[in-house]
Amino acid sequence: MKRLISITIILIISLSGGIILTGCGKEKSKPEVTNPIEIFISIDYPKKAKTPDMENFKFKVEKKSNVLEATELYASMSEIPLLVDTTSNTITSINKIANNDPKYNKKATWQFKVNGKLIQGTPDSKRLHDGDSIEWIYMK
């Protein structure tokens, strides 16, 4: 009788563990972009960084996204370290190259262009449209 109870308990524990592990093992689905637009992004690294530039990578973002949101999404997808000053909504470091870094240029910061035009505002203030091109440049 004890043996039957032991086997029953072992079966219950095994089944419970299997159910728990199966439920936890499901992959999370990526959030679907409901109103996608295609944009392009480039990153022009300082020459001293010896990091190859990234040129015109095409990807999709949500319609009405801004430059900051698109850059954060791209960095996350590409596993590029990105630091954002949330107080000023500015990019302070891309791929471990920080603003005013004396190793590269102590007076340079990350600035951005949209469709070839240097933008003076913050990246969260520039809304993107289908086909737009973002270019990040490390410059004075």
Q: Please give the Cα distance from 117 to 45 (Å, whole number).
A: 18
Q: Please give the Cα distance from 67 to 57 (Å, whole number).
A: 14
Q: For domain 36-139, which architecture applies?
A: Beta Complex (2.170)
pLDDT digits (tens, 9 = 90+) for 39-94: 999 999 999 999 999 999 999 999 999 999 999 999 999 999 999 999 999 999 99
pLDDT digits (tens, 9 = 90+) for 17-36: 655 555 555 554 555 667 89
pLDDT of 3 higher than 70: no
What is the pTM (predicted TM-score) of this model? 0.74
Please give the residue that has the higher pLDDT: either 126 or 27: 126
The residues spanned by each domain of the chain are 36-139
